Structure 1
Amino acid sequence: MNTGQSIGVFDSGYGGLTVFKSIAKQLPQYNYIYLGDNARSPYGDHSFETVYQYTLECVEWLFEQGCPLVILACNTASAKALRSIQQKVLPVKYPNHRVLGVIRPTAEVVGEYTSHRKIGVMGTRGTVNSNSYLLEINKFFPDIEVQQQSCPMWVPLIENNEHLNPGADYFVQKYLDQLLQKDADIDCILLACTHYPLLIPKLQAILPSGIELLGQADIVANSLDVYLKKHPEIAIKIAQESKRRFFTSGDTETFDQHASIFFGEDVQSDKMHLKV
C-alpha cells in the first residue's frame, strides 16, 4: 500500500513542464506536484551558490508537501545543485528521500544518436559553464567529442512567448551558427535546457540535413520508469490516483497562461510562498 505521497517535479520556471508532460504521459497513474520558481527565474546566469540555495529551498518545500522523490527537471539546477544535495543534504537530513536530475539520464543514452561521434550541446550559460555534460558524456562515451554553445536569449524569448515570432529568428540562427562553426561534423544537437523544445520548429527549418535534434523529455521519462521499477521501496510510497497539482512562486495567473503552452493542456496553479 502506498502512503498517499507524490512525485515532485521542479524547475526554475516553465521549462520543466515539457519533461513533466512526458513523465505524466508515460506514468499517468502516479500523483505529481509541479513547482516552478518563477519569481526567481531564470536560473541560467546565477552563481553556483545561488542556484544551490534556491534549488534546495524548493526541494525541501516539495519534501514538506509529501514528495519522497523529486525530479530536477532543470538542467541548470541539475548542473549546479544536484550533486551537493545528493551528497551533503540527503544523507544527513532526508535519508529516505531521493532527488534525481536530467543530465545523467541524457548522458547515458546520447551515444545512440550520433554516428560521427560528434555532439553539440546547447544550453544556458550556467549549464555550459558547469561543463556537466562534458564530464558526464565522457564517463559513458569517452570517444565522443562534445562542443557546447550557450544561448542566453532563448529562455527569455520563450518565457515571454516570443519564441515563434519572426523577431526570434536572429537569435535562433546566431547560436546555431556559432555551434556549428566549432565543428562542421556535428550530427546530433542536444537541447540541454527543458525550455528549448519549444524552438524545435524554428531549428528544424534551418538545421542542415543529417543533424538530429535531441530533446530530453522522453529520455527522462524513460529513465524515471526504469528507476521506479528498480526501486520499489520508493515507488510503493507514491499514490496512484493520477492527481496533478501545480505551484509557482510567481503570479499564478501569469503562470497558468504560459504553462499551458509548455504542458499542452490547461493548468491551474496555487501559490508557493518563498521563505524570504
Structure 2
Amino acid sequence: MEQQHRATVRDVDDLVGQTALKEDIVRWGQDAKSVPTALLFHGPPGTGKTSSAVLIARTLLGLEWFDSNYIESNASDDRGISFIRDELKQLMRVKPIGLHRKVILLDEADGLTPAAQDAMRRLIEKYSKHTLLILTCNDLEKIRPAIRSRCAVYGFSPVDPIEGAVRLSKVYDIDNKDILFKLVNLMKGDLRGCINLLDAAGDAYETRINELESSLDDSVARALEGDWMRLRSNLHGSLRSGVGLNYVLTGFYDNIYDHFEEEDNLDSIWRMMAAYGDVLVHKHTWIGNQYSYLDYLVAKMKTEVERNE
C-alpha cells in the first residue's frame, strides 16, 4: 500500500507526457473561471486519464476537498439512461460546499448507451455552472458528437518507455532504469499496469519482469502448431506476473493481429478471432476467476479451429 501511495499523482510534474494538459491545469489553478464546461479524456488504459482527473479536482478544490465536492463513478457499472436520470442528475444538481464548482469523474463513459449519453448532454448544459464533469473513455468513437462538442477533449497515448522508466525509478527508488524501460515496453505504455506489477513483485521485480517477457512469446504461433497447452501456459503466466486481465486480452489480440498477413493460416486466424470475440461478450458476466476465463478462451478457440480442420 505504501508504494501505491507513493505512485499517486500529486502535482503536474508527476504526470508523464501530456504537456498541453499540464499547462492547462496550471492555468486553471490560477484562474478557475478558465476551466472548460466539461472535460473528456480518451486513450488506452493505464495512460493517466483518471490520475489527471483526480489532480484537476485537487487543484480546483484545494482545502474544499470533501466527499460532496468530489465524486467518482464508473459508467460501466450501470450503462443505461436510468443511471443518468436517477443518479448522475441528483449528483450534478446538488451545489458544492464552499466554492463555485464541484467535480464529478465519470470513468468509462464509452460504456453508456446512446440514450444515456443524450440525457447526459442535457445535464451538462443545465448544471455545468456549478459542476465540472470529467469523462474518461478508451474509445472516443463511442462518445456521441453532441457530448464531444461540449467538452474540452484531450487524447492520452501509451506512455513513452523512457519517460515511464524515469517516473517508475523515482517512485520505487530503482536505479536500474533498463529493467524499467523493458517493463514499460512489455506493458505497451500502460503505466498503471507497470505499477500494479511492481507493487505485487516487491524486491523480486526483476524476476517478475523477466517472467512476463518469457510469457509473451508468439502464443498464436504455438496454437497454430496445435500446442494449445503452451498458449494456456503463456496466458496464465502473464496473469501471474501481476498484469491485469485486460492487458492479457489486449496483448493476445495484438498477437493475433500480427498473423493476419499469413495466407497459409488465415482461415485458422479468422476462426480464432471469431472465438476471441465470442468470449469477450461474456467478460463482464463471467462468474469464475480470471484463470478459468482464460481457459474458456483457449477452449473456445481450440474447438473452433479443430472443428473446421
Q: Tell me if TM exceeds 0.5.
A: no
Q: Which protein, 1 or 2, shows the higher relative CO under an 8 Å CA cutoff with sep ≥ 6?
A: 1
The structure where strand makes up a greater share of residues is: 1
TM-score, scaled relative to structure 1:
0.31
Instruction: Please identify the structure whose Cα radius of gyration is greater.
Output: 2
